[in-house]
Structure 1
Amino acid sequence: MSDLVLQPAVDLLAMISARKLSPLELAEEHILQIKRLNPQLNALIDFDEQRVRAQAIALDKAAPTGLLHGLPMTIKACIAVAGHRCETGSLFNKGHIPNEDAVIVERSRQAGAIIVGTTNCPEFLMAYETDNLLYGRTSNPWDLTRSAGGSSGGESAAIAAGLSACGFGSDGGGSVREPAHFTGICALKPTPGRIPAAGHLPPCVGPFSLLGAIGPMARTIADVSLLFNVLSGHADADPTGAPVPLQRYTTEDLQKIPIGFFEDDSIAPVTPETRQAIQDAVRSLRSQGFRVEPFRPRALEAARKLWWKYFVRCGAMLLNPIVAGKESRLSPTFQDFLAIARQDPPLTGYELLFAWAECDVIRAALLEEMREFPILLMPVCSVPAFRHGERQWNIDGRQVAYLDAMRYTQWFNLLGAPAAVVPVGRSPEGLPIGIQIAGRPYQDEAVLGIAAAIERDFGYQPPPLARRVS
């Protein structure tokens, strides 16, 4: 059972259902893996093995009542888990422990999941690297000198290394997708509201109700789809949600959807291995009977610029009252964010009003362009997992700055569209390279179906340090 913790969640659930494995036995295996690897990874920041055992023992004694019965899950430490620290990586929230679960956590418990603990994230979630003054940095299980990404970096490292079977992060600009790409797992940023965001800190309100989403993360697309199918659904506590029923797609249905792809956006170059991963995915889909053609929407850069205005400039405005005059208590990663944000003047009321109107115009333009190709295939990021603290890279003789390298995810937060990541390639150093599959709003199931088709020829491989010798 040494590699049991690296198996797909759907297989673990099947073993529990067939009584080949008990929830307590599975929990004990995860406890061992956490105690072995978390000191190196620093992925979980609130873990109590006795609390995990108590949940597992209760499930052992009870008849299965949900589709996640006995499955160990982790939750990013910005999503409320009753009795667990939810501090968004900031000294300003130190010691914050919610009394109630977020909607998605409550649904997970009702479905029989075991909440293992909460995972590390950068301060106020404003970085693509997980590091903070409360708990320090999270390392990538493929190379401890490199980042696991952000802002759901603790979650991605935990899942990739078998500290949990699956879990939830959140994504306002790539924060489940970039960490999944860095650590070689799968993730979905859903259409906002399809998975309720109620219970997220800070709240997904105002512009962040469109940009932000809570998303499932796991080692396989089958596991991501399981979490989406079991736990999605409208909740009154999330006013962005709509009562959209689950959609079912056959292989034949999916093959009728034209797929567009591009290797870069003509602004930020990507590594040769990233290009190769896109080409390999296209080749795989075509061999399975899909129509895949070169296509790049023209409105992408306009969407990115508006995302910047909302996420970076509005984000700084919302947080300034909390941190003003207390900069000494801020982590370097958040200070970097503020320095970038403060290069622009504060937004005026007119700019905000114009941006509000412009958002609908740009979204309409993107949606119109995606009529021809409702599914898009593209990179997640210009580079694979970077070394801790790196902020610039040379690609094909060009210098690529930190936020430019991350632009490939940001478009779909502005669009409010679903986007999934599946591992496909490897860098020369052996680091994972994921690709991104995006669709029009509310086409989450189609995105997952096509991601699953790509995964058949590629998919998750365990990091070497995650394997245990019996």
Structure 2
Amino acid sequence: MKTSTGNNATLFYQDASSMAEMIRKKEISPVEVVKGHLDRIAAIDPDINAIVAIADTAIDEAKKAEAAVLRGDELGPLHGVPFTVKDSIDTANILTQRGSPIFEGRIPSEDATSVSRMKKAGGILLAKTNLPEFSYWIESDNLLSGRSNNPWDLTRTPGGSSGGESAAIAAGMSPLGLGTDLAISVRGPAAQTGIVSLKATHGRIPMTGIWPRAPRRFWHVGPMARSIRDLSLAFSQLAGPDGFDAYSSNAVNFNGGIAQYPYRPLRIGWMVGPGFGPVDAEVAATVKAAAEALQNLGLFVEAVGIPALERDFALDVFNRIHVMEMKPAFREATAGQSDDEIYKMAKTMLSLPDTNMADYIDAEQAAERIRDGYAAYFQHYDALITHVLPISAHKHGESEFVIDGQTVDATYLQGATVPLNVTGLPGISMRFGTSKEGLPINVQIVGNWLAEPTILYIASLLESVSTVRDLHPNL
């Protein structure tokens, strides 16, 4: 087996599928891959602060993986490939501290289902990644492990709540990882760092072993990576019931693969509003460019609107429901804790007034109307192209933005992503543009329920014509 790539930069920015293929062909050693990424972390993470714990089993697992290759064993699709995991996801015998001093030193005895499945596919757990306290905010900062920085510009955020994961992948510290998503949290960070991510249909991937789970019907776990084929590969290993998460049922099995549609042109709609809040002109232009690229590839594409999103603003609906359902979990976690152990976002959540029952019921009915609105849309279209974020990655600590002449608070950054949590629809975040400041701009590809193969196919088409997919931070 060869033991040198000759070019570490080439290794760091390979996708997971390429690494797995090189390992199978004995062109590179799993030990070299893992050690190379650990060296990369040691060299650049002090500036980025994406990594909160190193898996002390990584080198031993890499040696076992190398021995399996040399013996000619049957290898999993991710054999020998390192992966990282957001620190809200349980990892057996490895710190999982949830971004809070309250959970400092916590070591689970079992892996979350998603972690176990990645390992079963041959992946090697490399490290845990940073997040906001309790996975609750759009910037990854907390009292225990501090603030993560965007590798494109250290003065900016890599997003939240899976911001450490997005920064690690973008910076070449990991080829593949797991994040969680309540309203934006795998798709927004991917957009802020220019990688790809998938929030699958709710229930496709079990949430077993992940905290918090309230409100369970809005929470998702999903893969984050460098290529669409990596998303498809990881999803094929992650999806399916586990017998513990009741939302993960036999009805949502996934056999893997990216769909092909030689028999008819897909029908694609695109929109940046109304219904999502204000959008920056550069971002809107990127969405339009992605739509035009698909049209040039022979798909039927047109500008659309979804009236249900105009009637009921999904972000408002989400806020009224999730505050009511999430606060009990925060109260339980912080009970008896001193003020100096609780960071600002948990304090903010706990200080919010409870949603009164009339507003809660009205929000539930509005959520049903939004679901019905998307169902009506997908009677006529196969997918929807939108923005992910209304702006590119913002400076640390900003809480108010002027977007297209309107002043909005930071929660509005979730305007185009939160509808998919309210409805459970699948969505992919992928880069298709660059801001005038040189920052990534991603688009979101939304599919019908259980239609991940369709949106993976559309994303693969966009990836094939993108001029920005091979750009990386200058680190």
Kindly report which structure 2 residues correspond to 1:365-444, keeping only aligned pairs within 5 A, or say none.
Answer: 365-444=373-452
Q: 1:334-349 counterparts in 2 under 5 A?
A: 334-338=346-350, 342=352, 345-349=353-357
Is 1:32 matched up with 2:32?
no
Residue matched to 2:114: 104
Aligned residue identity for 1:290:
L
Q: CA deviation at 1:142?
A: 0.2
Shift of 1:354: 5.3
Q: What is the CA-CA distance between 1:462 and the residue it aligns to?
A: 4.2
- Per the alignment, do residues 271 and 361 of structure 1 end up closer, same or farther by CA in structure 2, a change over 3 Å counting? closer
Deviates more, 1:144-153 or 1:330-339: 330-339
Task: Judge conservation of contact 1:127–1:337 (CA < 8 Å) in 2.
Answer: no
Structure 1 segment 59-208 matched on structure 2, within 5 A = 59-62=65-68, 63-202=73-212, 204=213, 208=215
Does the CA contact (< 8 Å) of 2:321 and 2:355 recur in 1? no
Q: TM-score, normalised by structure 1?
A: 0.92
Q: Does 1:332 align with 2:344?
A: yes
Assess if the C-alpha contact under 8 Å between 2:52 and 2:129 holds in 1: yes
TM-score, normalisation: structure 2? 0.91
**Alpha-carbon separation, structure 2, partners of 1:460 and 1:32:** 25
Q: Give the match for residue 289 of structure 2.
A: 280
C-alpha displacement at 1:330, in angstroms?
A: 1.7
Contact 2:132/2:142 (8 A) holds in 1: yes
Distance 1:146 1:255 in 2: 43
Change in 2 beyond 3 A, CA 1:107/1:379: same
Asked if 2 retains the 8 angstrom alpha-carbon contact of 1:132 and 1:333, the reply is: no
Give the superposition deviation at 1:447. Answer: 1.3
Please, which of 51, 57, 63 is the counterpart of residue 51 of structure 1? 57
For residue 254 of structure 1, report the CA deviation from its aligned partner. 8.6
- Cα offsets for 1:355-392 (capped at 9, x unmatched): 44554343223312332223111011111111110112
d(CA) in 2 for partners of 1:397 and 1:175?
26
State the alpha-carbon separation in 2 of the partners of residues 254 and 132 from structure 1.
51
Pairing 1:290–2:296 present: no
Amino acid across the alignment from 1:289: G
Aligned-residue offset at 1:427: 1.0
1:315 matched residue in structure 2: 326
Per the alignment, in what secondary structure is the counterpart of residue 140 of structure 1? coil
Are the structure 2 counterparts of residues 209 and 257 from structure 1 closer, same or farther at C-alpha, using a change threshold of 3 Å?
farther
Change (3 A) 1:255 1:309: farther
Deviates more, 1:216-225 or 1:90-99: 90-99
Distance 1:107 1:268, change over 3 A: same
Instruction: Show structure 1 runs of 5+ residues with no match.
Output: none
Task: Give me the whole-angstrom Cα distance separating, in 2, the residues matched to 1:374 and 1:408.
Answer: 18
Q: Percent identity?
A: 34
Asked if structure 2 preserves the Cα contact closer than 8 Å seen for 1:72 and 1:113, the reply is yes
Moved more, 398-407 or 221-230: 398-407
- In 2 relative to 1, CA 300–253 (structure 1 residues): closer, same or farther, beyond 3 Å? farther
- Counterpart contact for 1:80–1:199, Cα < 8 Å: yes
Q: How far apart, CA to CA, are the structure 2 residues paired with 1:335 and 1:278?
A: 36
Q: 2 CA distance for matches of 1:103 and 1:215?
A: 12
Cα deviation for residue 126 of structure 1 reads 1.1
Q: 1:250: Cα distance to partner?
A: 4.5
Q: Which runs of 4+ in 1 moved over 6 A?
A: none
Secondary structure, aligned partner of 2:436? coil
- How big is the shift at 1:242? 2.4
SS of equivalent residue, structure 2 residue 21: helix
One-letter identity of the residue aligned with 2:331: N
Q: Which residue identity lines up with residue 64 of structure 2 in the other structure?
A: A
Q: Size of the alignment, in residue pairs?
A: 458
Q: What corresponds to 2:4 in structure 1?
A: none
Give 1:255 deviation, angstroms.
Answer: 5.4
Shift of 1:134: 0.1
Describe the SS at the equivalent of 1:117. Answer: strand
Amino acid at match of 1:164: S
Pick closer, same or farther for the CA change 1:255–1:413 going to 2, 3 Å. farther
Equivalent position amino acid for 2:63 in 1: I
CA contact (8 A) 2:268 2:301 kept: yes
Q: Distance in 2 between matches of 1:362 and 1:408?
A: 13
Q: Secondary structure at the match of 2:307?
A: coil
Q: Distance in 2 between matches of 1:239 and 1:449?
A: 29
More deviation in 257-266 or 211-220? 257-266
Cα 1:249–1:321 change in 2 (3 A) is closer
Q: Spell out, residue by residue over 1:134-188, the C-alpha distance to the aligned partner (whole angstroms, 9 max, x if none).
A: 0000000000111000000000001111111101000010100000000000000
**Structure 1 residue identity aligned to 2:277:** A
Mean CA deviation greater in 142-151 or 435-444: 435-444
The residue type equivalent to 2:309 in the other structure is: L
Q: CA separation of 1:335/1:428 partners in 2, compared to 1, >3 Å: closer, same or farther?
A: farther
In structure 2, C-alpha distance between the alignment counterparts of 1:418 and 1:195, rounded to whole Å = 12
Unaligned runs of 5+ in 2: 1-6
Partner of 2:218: 211
How well do the aligned residues superpose, as a CA RMSD in angstroms? 2.0
Q: What CA deviation, in whole Å up to 9, does each residue of 1:285-335 have, x standing for no partner? A: 011111111112112252332211222343234313433674432223433
Q: Structure 1 CA distance, aligned partners of 2:264 and 2:135?
A: 37
Q: Which amino acid aligns with 2:102?
A: F
